[in-house]
Amino acid sequence: MNEFFLEKANKEKPFIFHKMIKVKCEKNLFSQGDKITLDLGNHYVGYFSFVICRHDIYIDAPVELEFKFFENKRDLYDNFENYHGSLCKSWLQRENIFIDNPGKVCLPRRYACRYITIEVKNTPRTAVISDFSFDSVSSADILKLPRIDIPDNTFKRIDEIAVNTLKNCMQFVFEDGPKRDRRLWLGDLRLEALTSYYTLRADNLVRRCLYFFAAGDTNKYGFVPSFVYTYPNFFRGEWDLLDYSLLFVVTVCDYFEHTGDIETIKNLLNICKLQLDSSEKLLDDKGIISCPYTDMTPFIDWCEGLEKNTALHGVYLYALDKFTVLLEKINDSDTEKYKGLLNHGRICARKELFDEKEGIFLNSRDNFQKNVHSQVWMILGGVLEADEAQKVLLSSIYSDDFLSPKTPYMQHYVCEAMIKSGLYKKAFDYIRSFWGKMADEGADTFYEIYSPDDPELSPYGDRMINSMCHAWSCTPAYFIRKYNEHKYFHEN
């Protein structure tokens, strides 16, 4: 652990804003077996409390209540007993409590929810339960949100939901999801930070999070962790993802672009270089990155059976591309070295990974699997120029022959690739149809994973454990706000 960076991260602990939600409830007399559902009116993250008292005569035994917390309406019908997913069941938000004495009761954990169900499991007599309150918390300073006029109502709603998603993930760090895993992941951070520059401007929080990653020791191959635990003690995450480590570089570059904070860049520059130098060591004799380690894999997307080599090479080029821009701006003496790597990496990609006859990225390294991910990341890596890039995107994104992205995280990069290739209108149509569908379903926040044709989809074997407010889904606010003044109504 690097104490210097850890101290820098710890110093920037953000202020937490509270907003008390008083929850209306028609009923206040509760007897054995009663069950109610409270609706907070929106998705919030925070602490729940209520007041319990006797009704007519003294309650002479403890009152047993069961609480469950749900992030959206559909989940209300879930039966936790049937959970069979791969992640620990304890992530499902519930409490069973025994109340001995009348008075105010505060439930012990922080919850992420819109709906709360309460069931009276056991009570000897009728009790009065009232004053349901939800103390919602976030480190987002909502006054920083620029007020903009978004003429299109669907985009206006998508933007609201996206900002709400980001706000609820902003706690002491940028969390991935306030229900689960409630921690700092690099891939998520990159997208949260990007969205933050156009919305809640939490630059200090971005810096703090970058320092947390810098504080985690690089692994034996030279890569920063893909996630870290930050509270109450700092621990490095133990599942390293190669593309996430490369996104550290990207997050640093974005940070400089939006803040100009040269001091932080100087502190983090060598770690960035190490990510790229360690990646360079993974280039094979044809100049393509591969990941030979068993204890470190690329992530790319939660998409079953996905072959990731081409996409990974794209992430490597994408990081190099951003990094050379940064180096040039700060006049770093290694600029030419990384430019050389970038050019070489692009030439090799075209030669080794592109199938000229088919006109798409298709190759033996990925077992000739057709997937959207490869096309998108190669375009983001700058391997194709705009005309060709457009063709590749249009022939893959809408085709059933290609494995398609499953997470809003990967969908972000699809949109980024469309915009990079000049397909502005298409990108915004895509946002409208993908994120807009979640909005139509009544989402207050955007989900961890979403496939309209497969509502039960979960990377963990059971939808109940999915996070329905997930950081990496917040980027429509970035796209909408960045391009609000122009482009998306234009024809291609």
CB of residue 92 to ligand RAM, shortest distance in Å: 16
Q: Answer whether 137's CB lies under 8 Å from 46's CB.
A: yes
Structure tokens at 239: 């599942």
d(CA 44, CA 315): 34
431-450 residues in contact with ligand RAM (CB under 6 A) are 448
Closer to ligand RAM by Cβ: residue 402 or 447: 447
CB of residue 456 to ligand RAM, shortest distance in Å: 17
Task: Answer yes or no whether residue 298 interacts with ligand RAM by CB under 6 A.
Answer: no
CB of residue 427 to ligand RAM, shortest distance in Å: 23
Tell me, residue by residue from 320 to 339, as one string, x for binding to ligand RAM by CB under 6 A and - for no binding.
Answer: --------------------
Q: Answer whether 52's CB lies under 8 Å from 105's CB.
A: yes
Size of interface with ligand RAM, in residues (CB under 6 A):
8
CB of residue 22 to ligand RAM, shortest distance in Å: 32
d(CA 357, CA 349): 15
Residue with tokens 């990925």: 366
Long-range contacts from 266-271, C-beta under 8 angstroms, 24+ separation: 267/5, 267/8, 267/211, 267/214, 268/210, 268/214, 269/332, 271/214, 271/218, 271/224
Position of minimal CB gap to ligand RAM? 176
Tell me, residue by residue from 140 to 179, as one string, x for binding to ligand RAM by CB under 6 A and - for no binding.
Answer: ------------------------------------x---
353-372 residues in contact with ligand RAM (CB under 6 A) are none
Closer to ligand RAM by Cβ: residue 345 or 476: 476
CB of residue 176 to ligand RAM, shortest distance in Å: 3
Tell me, residue by residue from 209 to 248, as one string, x for binding to ligand RAM by CB under 6 A and - for no binding.
Answer: ----------------------------------------
CB of residue 35 to ligand RAM, shortest distance in Å: 31
Tell me, residue by residue from 97 to 126, as one string, x for binding to ligand RAM by CB under 6 A and - for no binding.
Answer: ------------------------------
174-193 residues in contact with ligand RAM (CB under 6 A) are 176, 181, 185, 187-188
Tell me, residue by residue from 245 to 284, as one string, x for binding to ligand RAM by CB under 6 A and - for no binding.
Answer: ----------------------------------------
Closer to ligand RAM by Cβ: residue 134 or 185: 185
Closer to ligand RAM by Cβ: residue 349 or 414: 414
Structure tokens at 296: 């470190």
Closer to ligand RAM by Cβ: residue 185 or 402: 185
455-474 residues in contact with ligand RAM (CB under 6 A) are 472
CB of residue 270 to ligand RAM, shortest distance in Å: 25
CB of residue 296 to ligand RAM, shortest distance in Å: 13
Residue with tokens 């989940």: 75
Considering only 69, 134, 155, 299, the residue that binds ligand RAM (CB under 6 A) is: 299
Closer to ligand RAM by Cβ: residue 184 or 383: 184
Closer to ligand RAM by Cβ: residue 134 or 478: 478
CB of residue 373 to ligand RAM, shortest distance in Å: 14
Q: Answer whether 249's CB lies under 8 Å from 272's CB.
A: yes
CB of residue 187 to ligand RAM, shortest distance in Å: 5
Closer to ligand RAM by Cβ: residue 244 or 256: 244
CB of residue 422 to ligand RAM, shortest distance in Å: 29
CB of residue 345 to ligand RAM, shortest distance in Å: 24
Binding site for ligand RAM (CB under 6 A): 176, 181, 185, 187-188, 299, 448, 472
